[in-house]
Amino acid sequence: MATDTYRVVFDGNVPQGRTPEQAAKALMAILKVPESRARGFCSGKREVLRSGLPRELADKYVAALQRSGFNAGVVSATASRPTPRPAAPDTATAPPPAPATGRYTEYKVIQVMEGGCSSILFGSAQLPIQKIERRLNQEAAAGWQVVFQVIEQRRLFLLWTRESMIITLGR
């Protein structure tokens, strides 16, 4: 087997909700580096945190960094762009993967409605695309996939109609 080596790269940004000091302490704990070096990694520029690693070890570093909120990825020693790795699910709470037959073992239904005030004032409104996108991205990060979706119209106070999107997710 070839002796491919990989690098762990980090975008250099402090995770949301953390101070640079907190981020540096987290990097110190994960990478086992001095505080001055950990602070240097939080410069806002892309940084190579580790290099010359086998793929399995690089993936472990990336999983630990992503669990701490850092945006990290694995790059082949010969590649020029990072290959982002999905955050490793917590094995204690992660559901079993879907069977190979394509059937889902668990389903979830979510509903997103257009604003009621807009429907009343203007007679109609639009479905909140950013809200739908944000919600689907959250669910996808938790391992859910869209199975199907329906758009329905409902009465609102007997005079107006209101659109609603019903999305069925499975995993």
pLDDT digits (tens, 9 = 90+) for 155-166: 666 666 777 788
> Are 20 and 53 in the same domain?
yes
Q: Kindly state the tokens that stand for 165.
A: 């999107």
> Are 142 and 75 in the same domain?
no
Structure confidence by residue, pLDDT tens digits, 89-145: 555 555 555 544 557 788 888 888 776 565 555 555 667 778 888 888 888 888 888
Domain boundary among 52, 84, 116: 84
> Are 14 and 79 in the same domain?
yes
- Tell me if 63 is assigned to some domain: yes
> Are 123 and 68 in the same domain?
no
| Model confidence band, residue 67 (pLDDT cutoffs 50, 70, 90) | confident
For residue 163, the cross-strand partners are 153
- Tell me if 54 is assigned to some domain: yes
| Model confidence band, residue 1 (pLDDT cutoffs 50, 70, 90) | very low
**Separation of CA 151 from chain center:** 26
> Are 119 and 150 in the same domain?
yes
> Are 114 and 75 in the same domain?
no
Average pLDDT, the chain: 77
- Tell me if 132 is assigned to some domain: yes
Q: What is the model's pTM?
A: 0.44
More confident: 80 or 36: 36
Q: Could you tell me which residues come within 8 angstroms of residue 95 by beta carbon, excluding any fewer than 6 positions away? A: 105, 106, 143, 171
- Tell me if 64 is assigned to some domain: yes
- pLDDT value of position 42: 82
Instruction: Return the axis-axis angle of helices 55-67 and 20-31, rounded to nearest 10°.
Output: 150
Q: 127 near 114, Cβ under 8 Å?
A: yes
> Are 10 and 80 in the same domain?
yes
> Are 70 and 118 in the same domain?
no
Provide the residue range defining the domain that includes 156.
Answer: 107-170
Q: 43 near 12, Cβ under 8 Å?
A: yes
Contacts of 120-126 spanning 24+ positions with Cβ under 8 A:
120/156, 120/157, 120/160, 123/160, 124/160, 124/161, 124/163, 125/162, 125/163
Total tally of structural domains belonging to the chain: 2
> Are 45 and 77 in the same domain?
yes
> Are 129 and 76 in the same domain?
no
